[in-house]
Amino acid sequence: MDPFLSLLHSFSMSLSDNELSALKFLCRGKIGKRKLESVKTGNDLFTILLEQREIAREKVDFLQLMIKTIKREDLIMQLQEFIEGGQGDVVDHLDEKEKRQQNVAFEVICDNVGKNWKMLVRRLGISDTKIDRILTANPYNLQEQLMQSLREWQKWKGKEAKVADLIKALRDCKMNLVADKVEHELFQRED
């Protein structure tokens, strides 16, 4: 079960009718009137916000603002604990060998993939919304855009993030030379 969805569900269960009403009011600029009228529970509201990508596991600013506005300190504390505990750096959860291999692969990819980097990260499953956010944060640095995209993929996949998936994505994008360089560099560093 997704811990973020569990957190949202617990928030929903603890909201009074007045608090839900206040949250709906705060969302008027983000959600259309008809959709807001259909909202009967906190879960309904959070579902719409998730669908519209106003909130997400890694995007909690709007959620935090809403909760602060209705003065639910207990929910703010739960959200903070989730951010600090549940969102810990995924890299810490990878085994040492995989962590080293990914760092090597990221380095080679960033040095060798040029302007077609978006095709690669889309192949890895990164959404256009996340790509746009990364572009906005790093407007003039192609290597940093690519590195942040790879880190986003690593965070999204968690323990399932494997160098073999990176190599497959490179080959799927016809970036065989870069895939070969990654494999060569990994082989060199094993010795």
Distance CA 163, CA 48 (A): 35
Mean pLDDT of the chain: 87
pLDDT-above-70 percentage for the chain: 94
Is the overall model pTM greater than 0.85, yes or no? no
pLDDT tens track for 75-131 = 888 888 787 765 444 445 567 788 889 989 999 999 999 889 999 999 999 988 888
Give me the pLDDT at residue 39, please.
93
Q: Which two tokens stand for residue 157?
A: 């996949």
Q: What are the extents of the domains in the chain?
A: 3-85, 92-188
pLDDT tens track for 20-29 = 999 999 999 9
For residues 1 and 33, which has the higher predicted lDDT (pLDDT)?
Answer: 33
Q: Which CATH superfamily is domain 3-85 in?
A: Death Domain, Fas (1.10.533.10)
Distance CA 76, CA 162 (A): 35
CB 57 within 8 A of CB 87: yes
Domain 92-188 classified CATH 1.10.533.10? yes
CB 11 within 8 A of CB 4: no
